[in-house]
């Protein structure tokens, strides 16, 4: 049944039915009850798709992520996927606006977040990679429109959907693979480029948890700030010199190629295993030539597509999106790398 048919049956105008459907304007109680009775009897459901097609403007999605060239261009993979997915809804003129920040600078994040809120977008995609700062911003100045997380979950927040891996399981899996690649008692080192990211910290915790049942295995936590290249290399050189007995490294983000290059430069790769994260070009090259032994992928391209789709479901179709969409833990060796 259509709105026109309801109006004809009730003996009223289409505008009157529309006012009852959206509970606005003045309609007599008798007419309102009559229309509602017809709606209930026929099981009428409004068509949000048709209603949104009548809008005079398109939809704009704000994307809050680190700079596209940062972290081995991992975020460019994510943002390009968002652009492709948005273009697929061209009938609705889906557009994206990038709000990039410098990680881990809280002032940069705050400025990008405030600019995003002032942009009058219809929804937001947010990578909550600065845990505490993002929670404060969401609490002090919550968005007035739906927002979705991707790349990382963030406990204590209320997005309409989160599209991400379970980071603890990702680290736990890396620990299991490391034990298969390098059986024995370690020691092993976890390389973290940032300390304020929930997902990176959880990967490190998961890796350590895998070995918790064997007290003879030592796991060293190594914080190497990626945004300070020389400092990162100095920290790596220092651990190589102090602990030449380390048998394996787990890089919890896309920095695996940096560790690989340094090991190779110092002639220390032999006998040591390296597990990295993300199929960025530099990591893929290292995997092909053996400088990295294994990569775990979190499908940034797929994350971007799914996150846009969840916002589309919420904004346009007026449906409740999936609150959590867990991305698979893909493992790549050079033998199964396409």
Instruction: Kindly report, residue by residue over 205-257, the tens digit of the pLDDT.
Output: 999 999 998 888 999 999 998 878 899 999 999 999 999 999 999 999 999 99
Average pLDDT, the chain: 90
What is the per-residue pLDDT for 192?
95
Average pLDDT of the residues in 147-161: 95
Question: How many C-beta neighbours within 10 Å does residue 184 have?
Answer: 12
Per the document, the length of the chain is 338
End-to-end CA separation in angstroms for the chain:
51
Inform me whether the pLDDT recorded for 49 exceeds 60: no
With 70 as the cut, is the pLDDT of residue 114 above it?
Answer: yes
Min mean pLDDT across 76-90, 100-114, 118-132, 282-296 is at: 76-90
Q: Does domain 167-297 have CATH number 3.40.50.2300?
A: yes
* CATH top-level class of 59-164+300-325: alpha beta
Angle between helices 29-42 and 14-21 (to 10 degrees): 80
- Domain 3-46 classification at class level: mainly alpha
Task: Return phi, psi of residue 65, to 5°.
Answer: -145, 165
Q: Which residues pair with 295 in a beta bridge?
A: 276, 332
DSSP element (H, E) containing 203: helix 198-210
Convert the pLDDT of each residue in 318-333 to its tens digit.
Answer: 788 899 999 999 999 9
Position 51 pLDDT exceeds 60: no
Per-residue confidence at 142, pLDDT binned at 50, 70, 90? very high
User: What are the tens digits of pLDDT across the range 290-315?
Assistant: 999 999 999 999 999 999 999 988 88
d(CA 146, CA 317): 13
d(CA 228, CA 60): 35
Pairing of strands 273-277, 248-251: parallel
Residue 303: per-residue pLDDT? 95
Residue 151 Ramachandran class (φ > 0 left, ψ -120 to 50 alpha, else beta): left
Nearest to 74 by CA among 199, 169, 176, 161: 199
Q: Which of 317, 325, 326 is nearest to 123 (CA)?
A: 317
pLDDT at 89 over 80: no
Give the residue, 38 or 22, on which the prediction is more confident.
38
Confidence of residue 127 (pLDDT cuts 50, 70, 90): very high
Q: Are 203 and 252 in contact (CB under 8 A)?
A: yes
Pairing verdict, β 94-101 and 59-66: parallel
What is the token pair recorded at 174? Answer: 């890396």
3 state DSSP class of 150: strand
The answer to whether 59-164+300-325 and 167-297 have equal CATH topology is yes
**Rounded distance between C-alpha atoms, residue 91 and residue 39, angstroms:** 29
pTM of the model: 0.82
Task: Kindly list the domain boundaries of the chain, sorted by start residue.
Answer: 3-46, 59-164+300-325, 167-297
- Work out the average pLDDT over 158-180: 97
């Amino acid at each position: 049944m259509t709105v026109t048919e309801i109006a004809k049956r009730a003996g009223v105008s289409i505008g009157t039915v529309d006012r009852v459907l959206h509970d606005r304007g003045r309609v007599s109680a008798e007419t309102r009850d009559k229309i509602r009775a017809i709606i209930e009897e026929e099981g009428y459901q409004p068509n949000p798709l048709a209603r949104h097609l009548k809008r005079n403007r398109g939809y704009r999605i704000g994307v809050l992520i680190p700079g596209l060239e940062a972290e081995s261009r991992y975020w460019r993979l994510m943002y390009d996927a968002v652009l492709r997915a948005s273009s697929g809804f061209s009938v609705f003129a889906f557009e994206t606006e990038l709000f990039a920040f410098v990680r881990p600078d809280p002032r940069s994040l705050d400025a990008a977040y405030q600019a995003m809120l002032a942009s009058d977008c219809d929804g937001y995609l947010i990578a909550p990679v600065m845990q505490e700062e993002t929670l404060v911003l969401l609490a002090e100045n919550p968005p007035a429109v739906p927002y979705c997380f991707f790349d990382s979950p963030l406990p204590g927040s209320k997005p309409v959907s989160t599209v991400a891996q379970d980071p603890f399981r990702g680290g736990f899996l890396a620990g299991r693979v490391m034990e298969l690649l390098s059986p024995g008692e370690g020691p092993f080192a976890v390389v973290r480029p940032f300390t304020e990211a929930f997902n990176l910290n959880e990967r490190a915790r998961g890796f350590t948890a895998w070995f918790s049942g064997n007290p003879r295995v030592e796991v060293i936590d190594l914080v190497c700030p990626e945004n300070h290249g020389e400092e990162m290399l100095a920290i790596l050189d220092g651990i190589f010199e102090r602990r030449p007995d380390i048998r394996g490294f787990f890089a919890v983000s896309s920095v695996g190629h940096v560790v690989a290059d340094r090991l190779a430069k110092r002639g220390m790769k032999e006998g040591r295993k390296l597990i990295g994260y993300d199929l960025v070009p530099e990591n893929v090259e290292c995997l092909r030539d053996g400088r990295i032994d294994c990569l775990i992928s979190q499908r940034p391209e797929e994350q971007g597509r799914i996150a846009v789709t969840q916002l589309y479901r919420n904004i346009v179709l007026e449906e409740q999106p999936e609150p959590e969409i867990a991305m698979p833990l893909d493992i790549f060796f050079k033998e199964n790398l396409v």
